[in-house]
C-alpha cells in the first residue's frame, strides 16, 4: 500500500469531528489533508486541541471546489441539514462521502419530516445512500459513495436486536429500550443544561416520547425482522460520564426459546465480527469495557417469570457510535483491512 488516501473531515470542531481526527491521524492508510471549521478556520489544530499539538494541521474553511481537490474521501461531522449542503457537491465532485449526521439514515421522507420538522433536503440522494452499519450492510457498503453512518443509540440498539428478530426468537411487539449515554452524546453543546455542575451527580431521562432516534431504530429492526413496521419504546437517559452508551433491551420471547437458542444465534451472527463481542450468557455489559474502542459488547439473560429476554449492549458513542464506525465503513468502501486504524 504505497499511496495514502487523502481524507477530509468537514466540521471538525465537535466531539465526533475530534474523534475522527484522533483516529485518522494514526490511520496507516490515510493522510488527513483537511479539517474544516467555520469558527476555528486559520487556527492550528494544537491551538484548539492541544492533544494534537504535534500535528501540523490547521483548520480551514474552504470552498467545496477546493475541498474536492484536497481529498478523495470526506467525512461530514455536521448538523443535520447542513450535511446535505456539503454532500451534494462533494458527491458530484467524485468524493466518497461518509455522513455522520442523520440526513440520509431514514429511508422514508415522511418519517424524516415528522421527526425533523422539515421536508427532506435531498430525497433524490436517499436511493444511493447506504446505511453505515458494517455488520448489516457490509456488501452494499463496498460500492457506496454516500454512506449514512448509523446513529449512536441506534447502533447500540440494532446490533443486539437484529439477529434475534431475524431468527424470530423474539416478538416484534412490546420491545422496550432503556439507554443511558455519557454527556459527549449531546455534542459539544454550550448550554446551561450541560455545564459540569448540572450534569455531575445527576441522572435523568429525556426525550422519552418522540426522540429522533426512534424511527431509525424502528426502520432497521423492521428490516431485520422482515416486517413492514415495528413500534417500540426508546427511553434515553443522560448520565455523568464522558463516553459510552448502555442500552438495556427487553424483548418478549417467542414460545419455547431458550438461552441456548439465543447464544447460538448471537454466535452465528457475531463470532467472526471484529467489532462485536458477545459475552457469556447471564453477564451484563459495562460501558467501561469499550471506552475508546470500536467494540460493541452484548450480554443477555432470560427472566423465566415474565418470559422476557433482557439484553444489555454497550458502545463508545463517539467511536462505534459515530467516528470509529464511519472509519470502519470507509475501510470497507476502499478495500482496506476493515480494522485498519481502529
Which residues are catalytic, by number? Answer: 152
Using CB under 8 A as the binding rule, whether residue 228 contacts its own copies is answered as no
Using CB under 8 A as the binding rule, whether residue 281 contacts its own copies is answered as no
Using CB under 8 A as the binding rule, whether residue 258 contacts its own copies is answered as no
197 or 335: whose CB is closer to its own copies?
197
Which residues ranging from 193 to 222 are in contact with its own copies (CB under 8 A)?
Answer: 194-206, 208-210
Place of cell 457490509: 138
69 or 188: whose CB is closer to its own copies?
188
Q: Work out which of 242, 261, 334, 338 binds its own copies, going by CB under 8 A.
A: 242
Using CB under 8 A as the binding rule, whether residue 303 contacts its own copies is answered as yes
Which residues ranging from 119 to 158 are in contact with its own copies (CB under 8 A)?
Answer: none
Q: Give the phi and the psi of residue 17 in degrees, each rounded to 5.
A: -65, -45
**Nearest distance from residue 182's CB to its own copies, in Å?**
8
Q: Work out which of 108, 128, 258, 306 binds its own copies, going by CB under 8 A.
A: 306
22 or 107: whose CB is closer to its own copies?
22
Q: Work out which of 38, 50, 118, 335 binds its own copies, going by CB under 8 A.
A: 50
Q: Show the 3-state SS of 206-247.
A: CCCCCCCHHHHHHHHHHHHHCCCCCCCEEEEEECCCCCCEEE
Burial of 88 (0-12, 13-18, 19+ CB in 10 A): middle
107 or 237: whose CB is closer to its own copies?
237
Which residues ranging from 6 to 25 are in contact with its own copies (CB under 8 A)?
Answer: 15
Q: Work out which of 314, 315, 329, 330 binds its own copies, going by CB under 8 A.
A: 314
The CA-based angle 158-133-211, given to 5 degrees, is 50
Helix or strand or coil: residue 21?
helix
CB neighbours of 327 closer than 8 A, spacing ≥ 6? Answer: 20, 23, 24, 27, 294, 341, 342
According to DSSP, the residues that pair with 252 across neighbouring strands are 308
* Segment contacting its own copies by CB under 8 A, of 3-11, 159-167, 219-227, 302-310: 302-310
243 or 333: whose CB is closer to its own copies?
243
Count of C-beta atoms within a 10 Å radius of residue 2: 3
| Alpha carbons 36 and 61: distance in angstroms, whole number | 5
Amino acid at each position: 500500500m504505497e499511496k495514502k488516501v487523502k481524507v477530509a473531515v468537514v466540521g471538525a470542531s465537535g466531539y465526533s469531528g475530534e474523534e475522527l481526527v484522533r483516529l485518522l491521524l494514526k490511520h496507516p492508510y490515510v493522510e488527513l489533508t483537511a479539517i474544516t471549521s467555520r469558527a476555528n478556520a486559520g487556527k492550528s489544530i494544537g491551538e484548539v486541541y492541544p492533544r494534537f499539538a504535534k500535528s501540523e494541521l490547521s483548520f480551514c474553511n474552504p470552498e467545496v471546489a477546493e475541498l474536492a481537490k484536497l481529498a478523495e474521501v470526506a467525512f461530514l461531522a455536521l448538523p443535520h441539514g447542513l450535511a446535505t449542503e456539503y454532500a451534494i457537491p462533494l458527491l458530484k465532485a467524485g468524493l466518497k462521502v461518509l455522513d455522520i449526521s442523520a440526513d440520509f439514515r431514514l429511508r422514508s421522507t415522511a418519517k424524516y419530516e415528522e421527526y425533523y420538522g422539515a421536508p427532506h433536503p435531498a430525497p433524490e440522494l436517499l436511493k444511493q445512500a447506504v446505511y453505515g452499519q458494517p455488520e448489516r450492510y457490509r456488501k452494499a457498503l463496498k460500492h457506496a459513495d454516500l454512506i449514512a453512518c448509523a446513529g449512536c443509540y441506534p447502533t447500540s440498539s440494532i446490533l443486539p436486536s437484529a439477529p434475534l428478530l431475524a431468527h424470530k426468537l423474539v416478538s416484534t411487539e412490546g420491545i422496550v429500550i432503556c439507554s443511558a449515554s455519557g454527556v459527549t452524546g449531546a455534542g459539544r453543546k454550550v448550554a446551561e443544561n450541560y455545564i459540569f455542575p448540572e450534569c455531575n451527580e445527576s441522572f435523568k431521562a429525556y426525550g422519552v416520547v418522540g426522540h429522533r432516534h426512534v424511527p431509525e431504530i424502528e426502520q432497521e429492526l423492521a428490516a431485520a425482522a422482515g416486517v413492514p413496521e415495528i413500534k417500540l419504546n426508546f427511553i434515553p437517559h443522560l448520565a455523568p460520564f464522558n463516553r459510552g452508551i448502555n442500552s438495556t433491551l427487553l424483548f418478549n420471547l417467542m414460545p419455547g426459546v431458550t438461552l441456548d437458542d439465543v447464544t447460538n444465534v448471537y454466535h452465528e451472527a457475531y463470532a467472526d465480527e471484529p467489532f462485536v463481542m458477545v459475552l457469556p450468557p447471564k453477564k451484563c455489559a459495562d460501558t467501561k469495557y469499550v471506552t475508546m474502542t470500536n467494540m460493541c459488547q452484548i450480554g443477555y439473560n432470560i427472566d423465566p417469570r415474565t418470559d422476557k429476554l433482557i439484553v444489555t449492549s454497550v458502545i463508545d458513542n463517539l467511536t462505534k457510535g459515530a467516528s470509529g464506525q464511519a472509519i470502519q465503513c470507509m475501510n470497507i468502501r476502499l478495500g482496506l483491512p476493515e480494522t485498519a486504524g481502529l
